A and B are shown apart, each in its own frame.
Chain A
Amino acid sequence: MPRKVEPGDLLLAMLVLAPLAMAGPRLSGLQGEGVVWLLALAGRITGVLGLAALLVTAAMCVRLPGLDRWFGGLPRLWLLHRHLGFSAFILILGHVLLLSFAALPLSLEQALRVLFPPLSYAPIWAGWLALAALIGALAPTFQVSGIHYQRWKRQHLLSAAALLLALLHALPVSPERAAWWLLSLLALAAIAWRKLLAPVLARREYRVAQVTRLAADVVEISLVPKHKGIVHSAGQFIYLTPQDPSLGAGCAEEHPFTITSAPGAAELKLGIKALGDASLALQALTPGSRVQVEGPYGQFFARRAPQRKQLWLGGGIGITPFVSAARYLAERPDQFTHVVLFYLANRPERAYYHDELERIASAHEQLSLSIHYFSCCGPLSEAFLREHCPDFAERELYICGPPAMLEYLHGLLATAGVDRAFIHTEAFDFL
């Protein structure tokens, strides 16, 4: 995750801290002394922070083209969503235990009564139900094996129930009403937009013009807008909802795909590899069928040092943002500094965009292309990198590919002394 602080981060921090700031006078007046006082205070602080973080996390599920740039792109926003959500979860677990521990010096019985009061103490039991719903909403992430994307999305909606129950738990005992109402409103509006309004209002109609097979499990589909199309920049992605009833799976389900066409091109092109049921079915998408497009999102090619030359490292289907950028370079070379592109493929027949990229590289001196095959030479070595791009440490680096590749390259580049601030990455994982 980029270490740079984005403007939106400050807004999020303010929202998370607002209820605690309001509760400050109340909490500082908490009476008692010693460990018991400390535990009771910590129990309350974790409760207030936990609920605030939970509500802000929910508000962050909103997906608005353009808005995600405040947060450094949608993938980063959702990384933040994930971090804040898990933090809220851990804070809430702490909240429960700390308050119970605060009563432990009195008696074990009292500590248990804080946890499990008589049934008439409804707010406490609403809190337990909220926790149960939250565990349900997070449960798929706890399993070790793969996660079914659509099932995960459905089950994650349980978090909306967790929010409502958590409010029932907190509103009767916490006087910071204004802050809670503000955050709840943001959270519920975000969920309502995302689940109810966006599917109707934010999707644009396209028609499938062409489906080009690039490899046994990779296609590039070309889309033509029915009315007005989206305006994107290189490296962005969209959510595609096919409305083709003849599809074997995933009809009317949305999935994210990277744009491979150059910005401003007449047709919107997407490179799609069969990674799951839905993307496998898309390999047989019927030309002429209807699809919906929501986006664009992300800002992979954000510049941190515009004067620097660039180094692109694309692995497998992670080559797609670079295809879009290379196609743009072919049209508008004036927009680019010098670029070295490393195409990291398993073997020659898996380098499906190689021919086109080589054509662009030979026609434009701004782009140099190097290809590296895993099957013959193992993972990319520093020697190979230095041989084909001696000044790689002075460039701004963009890496896209599977998570294992990103991890490996980060290690390699760190060893080679590349400043992490100049590395941009995008993992193809869970978006």
Chain B
Amino acid sequence: MSLNKIAYTALVAFFSVVLTLLATGLLMGRSTEPATTADTLRPIGAEELATHNHRDSCWKAIDGKVYDVTSYLPEHPGDEALTLDWCGKDASAAWHNKRPGQAHSANAALLLQSYLIGQFASATAAAPPRQVLTTPQGTTGTSSRPSAKVLLGLAPGTYLDGIYRGHFSDRGEMQVSLQFSLREHRMHDIELRYLAYAGVDYLKLTEEHPAYPVLLQYRQSIAHLEGQPLANLFDLYEPGKVVDDIDAFSGATLRASKVISAVRDALNRGVYQWQ
């Protein structure tokens, strides 16, 4: 058989094997994506994690995610005692230092994903999950405020998923009260519960009222935050990029700052209600 034919035969065999693997994977009803995606991850606390600390059920928290690696334990190369030692704990440090200073390989990271079972929800969790910070277009370079990353860094703690309520009060009265649901560090279902200034209940204003555009500005600010990462809250420091200056009505900056303040108040108070 000539070389050409051998190579051609090898190529056909190669594609047959790859296609067989693919077809089997699809027909067995298992997608090639991780079974659990970030949206559906169950929060797992440190107490629950700690109960899975042995060979028969070994969970490990790594970079804010929880993995059930029980079935992989027999396959894991290296010192078994050391591997078992990290069951039921936050093993991020061990993961990133397979040998001192040397992290696990990309292949290992791929493998790990298949054992993902939940989100590590602990007040002592090492770090919140890394998130992509989005900044509104045009704000880079010209903005006077510090970056959202810095501002978020200044905010204390890691925020657990749940429903939050917060207020802004000034001059002896509550001016803004709002509620939102936090999931994966993103704000959802933001709602104004109370809005007043100088004794006027803004939520009850009709369209004819001269102060009605103020209510609209609040609503635009809130709509801007819907579904966004927490860091985008600070976009409101530049409300010109967020709200229309309706009827040349000024004071948008002041009002946006009140929303920021109320949201941060909510975060400081902690979860109001578990979802």
Q: Give the B-binding residues of A (Cβ under 8 A).
A: 31-33, 36, 82-83, 86, 89-90, 93, 96-97, 100, 103, 105-117, 121, 135, 138, 141-142, 173
**Chain B residue nearest to A83 in the complex (CB):** B3
Query: Contacts A89-B7, A97-B14 given: A109-B114 contact, CB under 8 Å?
Result: yes
Q: Does B246 contact A (CB under 8 A)?
A: no
In-complex Cβ contact of A142 among B11, B78, B114 (8 A): B11
Nearest CB in chain B: distance from A83 CB, A: 7
Report the bound CA distance from A96 to B19 in whole Å.
13
CB of B32 within 8 A of CB of A112, answer yes
Q: Does B10 contact A (CB under 8 A)?
A: yes
- Our count of residue pairs bridging A and B at CB distance below 8 angstroms stands at 75
Query: Contacts A31-B77, A82-B3 given: A90-B114 contact, CB under 8 Å?
Result: no
Contact residues in B for A33 (Cβ distance below 8 Å): 77
In-complex Cβ contact of B17 among A32, A97, A117 (8 A): A97
Nearest CB in chain A: distance from B112 CB, A: 10
CB of B7 within 8 A of CB of A141, answer yes
CB of B75 within 8 A of CB of A36, answer yes
Contact residues in A for B75 (Cβ distance below 8 Å): 32, 36, 105-106
Report the bound CA distance from A31 to B98 in whole Å.
12
**Chain B residue nearest to A107 in the complex (CB):** B114
CB of B8 within 8 A of CB of A142, answer yes
Nearest CB in chain B: distance from A204 CB, A: 34
Report the bound CA distance from A86 to B107 in whole Å.
28
Q: Does B4 contact A (CB under 8 A)?
A: yes
22 contacts between A and B (CB under 8 A): A33-B77, A36-B75, A83-B3, A86-B3, A89-B7, A90-B7, A93-B10, A96-B14, A100-B21, A106-B111, A108-B21, A109-B25, A109-B30, A112-B22, A113-B110, A113-B114, A115-B21, A116-B32, A117-B110, A121-B106, A135-B11, A142-B7
Nearest CB in chain B: distance from A90 CB, A: 5
Query: Contacts A93-B10, A108-B24, A141-B7 given: A114-B18 contact, CB under 8 Å?
Result: no
CB of A142 within 8 A of CB of B4, answer yes
Report the bound CA distance from A142 to B7 in whole Å.
8
CB of B72 within 8 A of CB of A106, answer yes
Interface flags for B22-59 (1: CB within 8 Å of A; 0: not) read 10110010101000000000000000000000000000
Question: For chain A, what secondary structure do more than half of its interface residues adopt (helix, strand, loop), or is it mixed?
Answer: helix
Q: Which 3 A-B pairs have the closest CB atoms?
A: A31-B77, A93-B14, A142-B8
CB of A108 within 8 A of CB of B3, answer no
Nearest CB in chain B: distance from A406 CB, A: 14
Report the bound CA distance from A141 to B7 in whole Å.
9
Q: Give the A-binding residues of B (Cβ under 8 A).
A: 3-4, 6-8, 10-11, 14, 17-18, 21-22, 24-25, 28, 30, 32, 72, 75, 77-78, 106-107, 110-111, 113-114
Report the bound CA distance from A387 to B169 in whole Å.
120
By CB atoms of chain B within 10 A, which of A109, A117, A141 has the most?
A: A109
Report the bound CA distance from A106 to B10 in whole Å.
26
Nearest CB in chain B: distance from A24 CB, A: 19
By CB atoms of chain A within 10 A, which of B11, B75, B114 has the most?
A: B11
CB of A112 within 8 A of CB of B114, answer no
Query: Contacts A93-B11, A93-B14 given: A111-B3 contact, CB under 8 Å?
Result: no
Contact residues in A for B11 (Cβ distance below 8 Å): 89, 93, 135, 142
**Chain A residue nearest to B4 in the complex (CB):** A141
In-complex Cβ contact of A86 among B6, B30, B78, B106 (8 A): B6
CB of B110 within 8 A of CB of A111, answer no
Contact residues in B for A142 (Cβ distance below 8 Å): 4, 7-8, 11
In-complex Cβ contact of A32 among B6, B32, B77, B111 (8 A): B77
Report the bound CA distance from A111 to B22 in whole Å.
10
Contact residues in A for B14 (Cβ distance below 8 Å): 93, 96-97
CB of B21 within 8 A of CB of A112, answer yes
Nearest CB in chain A: distance from B101 CB, A: 15
Nearest CB in chain A: distance from B120 CB, A: 22
Nearest CB in chain A: distance from B129 CB, A: 16
Report the bound CA distance from A109 to B34 in whole Å.
9
In-complex Cβ contact of B110 among A31, A86, A90, A121 (8 A): A121
Report the bound CA distance from A83 to B7 in whole Å.
10
Nearest CB in chain A: distance from B73 CB, A: 12
Report the bound CA distance from A108 to B28 in whole Å.
9
Contact residues in B for A116 (Cβ distance below 8 Å): 32
Report the bound CA distance from A115 to B4 in whole Å.
26
Query: Contacts A121-B106, A142-B4 given: A112-B25 contact, CB under 8 Å?
Result: yes
Report the bound CA distance from A394 to B17 in whole Å.
52
Query: Contacts A36-B75, A142-B7 given: A110-B111 contact, CB under 8 Å?
Result: yes
Contact residues in A for B114 (Cβ distance below 8 Å): 106-107, 109-110, 113
Contact residues in A for B25 (Cβ distance below 8 Å): 108-109, 112
Report the bound CA distance from A2 to B44 in whole Å.
70
Contact residues in B for A89 (Cβ distance below 8 Å): 7, 10-11
CB of B6 within 8 A of CB of A90, answer yes
Contact residues in B for A115 (Cβ distance below 8 Å): 18, 21
Report the bound CA distance from A112 to B110 in whole Å.
11
**Chain A residue nearest to B72 in the complex (CB):** A106
CB of B21 within 8 A of CB of A111, answer yes
CB of A108 within 8 A of CB of B110, answer no
Contact residues in B for A111 (Cβ distance below 8 Å): 21
Report the bound CA distance from A105 to B75 in whole Å.
9
Contact residues in B for A82 (Cβ distance below 8 Å): 3
Contact residues in B for A173 (Cβ distance below 8 Å): 106
CB of A113 within 8 A of CB of B7, answer no
Contact residues in A for B78 (Cβ distance below 8 Å): 31
CB of B30 within 8 A of CB of A108, answer yes
Contact residues in A for B21 (Cβ distance below 8 Å): 100, 108, 111-112, 115
Nearest CB in chain B: distance from A408 CB, A: 17
Contact residues in A for B6 (Cβ distance below 8 Å): 86, 90
Nearest CB in chain B: distance from A154 CB, A: 19
